């Protein structure tokens, strides 16, 4: 009997490798083996019928994941309620005027893969392993397809970390202070400190004068930078332009800080005149200022030197203000752009943060946060449990992320990064010109690779190309993986769609003058 089962298992393993990506064929083979097994072994469970599923819950997979389709079964249309939301028309299937709505509850626009308990005969038939392999194969195919149509978010998808795959078998955790050894030995602090030293040099801060760590995302960098500012000035007021990343205002809510929003110019830059006026209204309290090194939607870079000048003109001394620079994307690009304002700790700034998964390109979200050592001392606490100190937001940190960053920075170096920055800026300005040539209103800031243009009228088109939209505008973020060919494909499809949208005259090109200025709008009024 043992020899029989060994032979059956060997047959199945061989067949599974041959038919790994054909779920129906694998299941049929499994059923045949199960029939044979049930005739030889007393007390075995009944063979599944051809249309059965394990535990009655496993459903057959579609041929491919259709990640562009909207699943509206769980969308609670009755919860759609914000007067300033886009569109004011009829709501159908979770969309309004063709634009997808965000609602409370399970607002799901993707398929759900349920978790089911293994059946008693799974180890015998191997059906579960075959099913899981099929799910993952189809998911990989979906990821490959969706990566082809990725234009709206600032992620560099052009990376290869195959050399690091040997490390995925380890649980690498950098808990506690990066500069203090803890009792946990499976870490990557040596890589983390190397990366931090590199960024400290980039922003001109000496090794013995800085503190920092590899964060889990750009938001954590902002949360930490603003937290340090609040620790330095417990009664300080947070100043941030209205086009700052939402994590800045999240920090204000989390820390119960008074927050003053500053107007912006059409470019997205902070309006320094409004900034100074609002500083003068609160001269009795220290200022904690968020400076954007590239805004989320328009990629605008605040003039750091002008911000500092306005603070000093308002009568704030160096010991009464703290500046955090949110450089999520452009914080790493700006040093390689000629005539760009310089982000440096030689200026009176308190902290800088960037995202690691954006311009550098990492398979996991991560970031870098650098601050002055003198500022973080009051935030740091001894932790006996880990035999270290901790001043981070999150206790445990992804130990693989520093290795990805270390590997990429070593492979590219300053010259490689500079070439990628120049390529992105060149392609972005080229793409903006092509949009304007096609009579599509568009704008790109001089120091930016974010191209802003009229929001498409078709939500499925927006979803397909994964565009980020706000009001009447959308944007494409030109990253190292975004080629001229991909931009051409996008523009050609957009022009074809516009012919359909505007054919009967019911739809007109959107007016984007209020968002990017009259000179950049090509609607019927401003053309």
Beta-sheet pairing, 259-262 with 237-241: parallel
List the one residue out of 349, 348, 355 whose CA is nearest residue 333. Answer: 355
List the one residue out of 397, 17, 348, 421 whose CA is nearest residue 195. Answer: 397
478, 453 Cβ separation under 8 angstroms: no
Burial class (CB in 10 A: 0-12, 13-18, 19+), 265: middle
Rg (CA), the chain: 27
Burial class (CB in 10 A: 0-12, 13-18, 19+), 521: buried
**How long, in residues, is the chain?**
527
What values do phi and psi take at 40, rounded to 5? -100, -25
244, 294 Cβ separation under 8 angstroms: no
Q: How far apart are alpha carbons 514 and 527 in whole angstroms? A: 14
28 tagged catalytic? no
What is the distance, to the nearest Å, from the Cα of residue 289 to the centroid of all Cα atoms in its chain? 24
Strand ranges of the sheet holding 99-100, from the earlier edge strand across to the other edge: 91-92, 95-96, 99-100
List the one residue out of 325, 344, 368, 374 whose CA is nearest residue 205. Answer: 344
Q: At what angle do helices 127-148 and 2-18 cross, to 10 degrees?
A: 10
Active-site residue, from 134, 351, 353, 448:
448
Give the active site residues. Answer: 448
């Amino acid at each position: 009997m043992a020899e029989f089962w060994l032979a059956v298992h060997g047959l199945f393993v061989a067949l599974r490798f041959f038919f790994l990506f054909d779920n129906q064929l694998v299941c049929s083979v499994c059923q045949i083996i199960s029939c044979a097994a049930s005739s030889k072994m007393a007390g075995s469970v009944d063979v599944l019928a051809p249309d059965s599923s394990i535990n009655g819950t496993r459903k057959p997979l579609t041929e491919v994941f259709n990640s562009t389709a909207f699943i509206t079964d769980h969308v609670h249309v009755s919860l759609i309620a914000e007067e300033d939301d886009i569109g004011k028309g009829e709501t159908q299937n979770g969309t309004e005027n063709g634009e997808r709505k965000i609602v409370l509850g399970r607002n799901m626009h993707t398929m759900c893969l349920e978790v089911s308990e293994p059946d008693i005969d799974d180890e015998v038939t191997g059906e579960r392993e075959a099913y899981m392999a099929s799910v993952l194969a189809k998911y990989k195919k979906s990821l490959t397809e969706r990566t082809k149509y990725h234009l709206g978010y600032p992620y560099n998808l052009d990376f290869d970390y195959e050399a690091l795959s040997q490390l995925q078998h380890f649980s690498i955790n950098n808990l506690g202070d990066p500069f203090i050894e803890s009792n946990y030995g499976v870490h990557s602090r040596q890589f983390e400190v190397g990366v931090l030293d590199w960024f400290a040099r980039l922003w001109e801060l000496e090794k013995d004068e800085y503190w920092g760590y590899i964060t889990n995302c750009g938001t954590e960098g902002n949360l930490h930078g603003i937290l340090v500012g609040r620790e330095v000035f417990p009664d300080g007021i947070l100043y941030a332009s209205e086009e700052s990343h939402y994590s800045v205002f999240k920090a204000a809510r989390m820390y119960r800080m008074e927050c003053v929003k500053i107007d912006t110019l059409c470019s997205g830059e902070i309006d320094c005149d409004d900034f100074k006026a609002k500083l003068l209204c609160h001269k009795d309290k220290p200022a904690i200022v968020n400076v954007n090194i590239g805004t989320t939607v328009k990629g605008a870079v605040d003039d750091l030197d002008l911000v500092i000048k306005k603070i000093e003109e308002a009568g704030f001394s160096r010991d009464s203000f703290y500046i955090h620079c949110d450089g999520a994307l452009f914080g790493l690009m700006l040093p390689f752009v000629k005539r760009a304002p310089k982000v440096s700790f030689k200026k009176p700034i308190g902290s800088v943060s960037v995202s690691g998964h954006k311009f550098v390109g990492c398979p996991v979200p991560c970031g870098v946060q650098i601050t002055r050592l003198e500022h973080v001392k009051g935030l740091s606490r001894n932790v006996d449990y880990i035999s270290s100190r901790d001043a981070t937001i999150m206790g445990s940190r992804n130990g693989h992320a520093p290795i990805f960053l270390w590997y990429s920075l070593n492979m590219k170096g300053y010259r490689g990064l500079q070439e990628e920055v120049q390529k992105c800026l060149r392609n972005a300005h080229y793409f903006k010109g092509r949009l304007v040539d096609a009579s599509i209103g568009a704008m790109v800031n001089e120091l930016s690779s974010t191209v802003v243009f009229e929001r498409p009228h078709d939500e499925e088109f927006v979803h397909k190309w994964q565009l980020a939209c706000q009001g009447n505008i959308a944007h494409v973020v030109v990253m190292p993986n975004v080629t001229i060919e991909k931009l051409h494909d996008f523009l050609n499809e957009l022009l074809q769609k516009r012919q359909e949208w505007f054919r009967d005259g019911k739809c007109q090109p959107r007016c984007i003058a209020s968002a990017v200025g009259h000179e950049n709008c090509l609607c019927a009024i401003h053309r």
